[in-house]
C-alpha cells in the first residue's frame, strides 16, 4: 500500500489564493494589511522560516516589515522592539520568531505582544481563549502549526471526529495547543498527548487513527508504530547535512517505510511547514478584517 500524500505545497497555495482575494477586498477599502517579523540572532533555520514568511506575504499582497536584532540583544532591546511594533500603525500583526537566543525570556516576550496583533496565536490571552473554548463571533488567532495540521487533514477529508489521535511532543508551538484544537467541539477527536517520558511510545502510536509527530528526532516513527491505514502527520524538521547544491538536507520524524503502511502521510519538506506559513497569513488577514 502507498499512502496518500498530504501535500502542503498544493494546499498552502490554494489557501494563499483564497487569502489573496480577501487582501484585495481589504485594499479596495483602503486597508493595507502589514505583517512584521522580529528575528533575534542568526539561527539559519529561523532565518529561512522568516524569509519564507516574507515571500508568502508578498505573494498575497501583504506588506511585510523585517525587524532584526543581533544575537547579543538584551531583554530591554527586545522589549523596546516589541513596544514599537505594538504601536506601529502599518503593522496589522506580527510575530517573534522562536526559539529566542539563550538568556531571553520567551514567556515574557510573548506576554508583551499586543494580543490584537498576535499573528502567531501564542499570546497567553489568545492561548487562554483556546483553553476556555471561547468561540464567539470574533475568532481568536490560533497557533499556526496546530491549525495547519488540522486544516491539512480537513482538506484531504481525513476523518477526525470520534477518531483517536496520538500527538508525540508537548511543546508550546505544536503538541500542547494541538491537543486543545483537536478536542474542541465540532472537531471532536480523542487525544493522547505523549512526550519523552511516555513509557511505550510505539504502543501508544499503534493505537492511533492519526499520529502527529513533533519531536525533531529523524525517523523516530517507523512502520511498526503505525496502524495500517492510519494518517501520519510529520511536524518534525531536522537539518541532517547539506545537499549537493549546498542547501540544508531536511529530515522529518517519520521514517520513509511508513508510506507503505499508512493511509495518508504528510512529507518533510513539503507538508506542515508550508501550512504553518499559510495559517500565519490567515491570522494576519483575519486581524486586518477585524481591525477594519
Ligand atoms: N514564532 C514562531 N516561531 C516558530 C514557529 C511558529 O509557529 N511561530 N514554528 C516553528 C518554525 N516555523 C515557523 O516559524 C516553521 C517551520 C517550517 C517552515 C517551512 O516552511 N518548512 C519547509 C522547509 C523550509 C526549509 O527549507 O527550511 C517545509 O517543511 O517544507 C516554516 C515555518 C518554530 N518556531
Mutate which of 99, 122, 146, 276 to test ligand 1's pocket (most atoms within 8 Å of Cβ)?
A: 276
Has 171 been labeled as part of a binding site? yes
For a pLDDT cut of 70, what percent of the chain falls above it?
98
Does position 276 have pLDDT exceeding 90, yes or no?
yes
Of the residues 7, 118, 120, 253, only one is catalytic, namely 120
* Ligand 1 center to 191 CA (angstroms): 24
Would you say 213 and 169 are in contact if contact means Cβ atoms under 8 Å apart? yes
* Segment 16-40 mean pLDDT: 98
Cell 516574507 sits on residue: 54
Cell of 54: 516574507
From the centroid of its chain, how far is CA 53? 12
CB of 259 closer than 6 angstroms to any ligand 1 atom: no
Residue 121, phi-psi category: left (phi > 0), alpha (psi -120 to 50), beta (remainder): left
**Cα–Cα distance, 79 to 169 (Å, whole number):** 29
Mean residue pLDDT of the chain comes to 96
Closest residue by Cα to residue 105 from 138, 64, 133, 77 = 77
What confidence tens digit (pLDDT) does each residue in 100-149 have?
999 999 999 999 999 999 999 999 999 999 999 876 656 799 999 999 99
pLDDT of 198-215, one tens digit each? Answer: 999 999 999 999 999 999
Tell me if 213 sits within 8 A of 221, measured CB to CB: yes
C-alpha cell at 267: 512529507
> Given strand 34-40, what is the order of strands in its sheet?
63-69, 34-40, 93-96
Contacts of 82 (CB under 8 A, 6+ apart): 38, 96, 109, 112, 113
> What CA–CA distance (Å, rounded) separates 104 from 53?
23
CB distance 268 to ligand 1 below 6 Å: yes
| Residue 209 annotated as catalytic | no
Bridge-based pairing state of the strands 4-5 and 264-266: parallel
95 CB less than 6 Å from ligand 1? Answer: yes
Per-residue pLDDT tens digits for 144-170: 999 999 999 999 999 999 999 999 999
Its pTM stands at 0.97
Residue 172, number of CB atoms within 10 A of its CB = 15
Domains with residue ranges and CATH for the chain:
29-114 (3.40.50.10860), 144-274 (3.40.50.720)
Kindly name the residue from 16, 53, 117, 227 that is annotated as catalytic. Answer: 53
Quick: pLDDT tens for 217-266: 999 999 999 999 999 999 999 999 999 998 899 999 999 999 999 999 99
The mean pLDDT value for 35-47 works out to 97
Residue 272 has pLDDT above 90, yes or no: yes
| pLDDT over 70 (residue 79) | yes
Asked whether the beta carbons of 146 and 178 are under 8 A apart, the reply is yes
| Residue 52 in contact with ligand 1 by CB distance below 6 A | yes
- Active-site position among 7, 16, 56, 97: 97
42 is in an annotated binding site: no
Kindly give the distance from the C-alpha atom of residue 198 to the centroid of ligand 1, in angstroms, as a whole number.
26
Q: Is the CB of 171 under 6 A from ligand 1?
A: no
pLDDT score, position 291: 85
Per the annotation, the verdict on 120 as an active-site residue is yes
Amino acid at each position: 500500500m502507498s499512502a496518500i500524500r498530504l501535500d502542503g505545497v498544493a494546499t498552502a497555495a490554494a489557501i494563499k489564493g483564497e487569502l489573496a482575494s480577501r487582501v484585495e477586498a481589504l485594499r479596495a477599502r483602503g486597508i493595507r494589511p502589514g505583517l512584521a517579523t522580529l528575528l533575534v540572532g542568526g539561527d539559519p533555520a529561523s532565518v529561512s522560516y522568516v524569509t519564507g514568511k516574507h515571500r508568502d506575504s508578498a505573494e498575497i499582497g501583504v506588506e511585510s516589515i523585517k525587524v532584526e536584532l543581533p544575537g547579543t540583544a538584551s531583554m530591554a532591546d527586545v522589549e523596546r522592539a516589541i513596544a514599537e511594533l505594538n504601536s506601529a500603525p502599518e503593522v496589522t500583526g506580527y510575530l517573534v520568531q522562536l526559539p529566542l537566543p539563550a538568556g531571553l525570556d520567551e514567556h515574557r516576550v510573548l506576554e508583551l505582544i499586543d494580543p490584537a496583533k498576535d499573528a502567531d496565536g501564542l499570546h497567553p490571552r489568545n492561548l487562554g481563549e483556546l483553553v476556555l473554548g471561547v468561540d464567539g463571533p470574533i475568532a481568536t488567532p490560533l497557533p499556526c502549526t496546530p491549525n495547519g495540521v488540522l486544516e491539512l487533514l480537513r482538506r484531504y477529508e481525513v476523518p477526525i471526529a470520534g477518531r483517536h489521535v496520538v500527538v508525540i511532543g508537548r511543546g508550546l508551538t505544536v503538541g500542547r495547543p494541538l491537543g486543545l484544537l483537536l478536542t474542541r467541539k465540532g472537531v471532536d477527536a480523542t487525544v493522547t498527548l505523549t512526550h519523552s517520558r511516555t513509557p511505550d511510545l510505539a504502543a501508544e502510536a499503534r493505537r492511533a487513527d492519526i499520529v502527529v509527530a513533533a519531536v525533531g528526532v529523524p525517523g523516530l516513527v517507523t512502520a511498526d508504530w503505525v496502524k495500517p491505514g492510519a494518517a501520519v502527520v510529520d511536524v518534525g524538521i531536522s537539518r541532517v547535512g547539506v545537499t549537493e547544491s549546498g542547501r540544508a538536507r531536511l529530515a522529518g520524524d517519520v521514517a520513509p517505510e511508513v508510506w507503505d503502511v499508512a493511509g495518508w502521510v504528510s512529507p518533510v519538506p513539503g507538508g506542515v511547514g508550508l501550512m504553518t506559513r499559510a495559517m500565519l497569513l490567515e491570522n494576519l488577514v483575519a486581524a486586518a478584517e477585524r481591525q477594519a
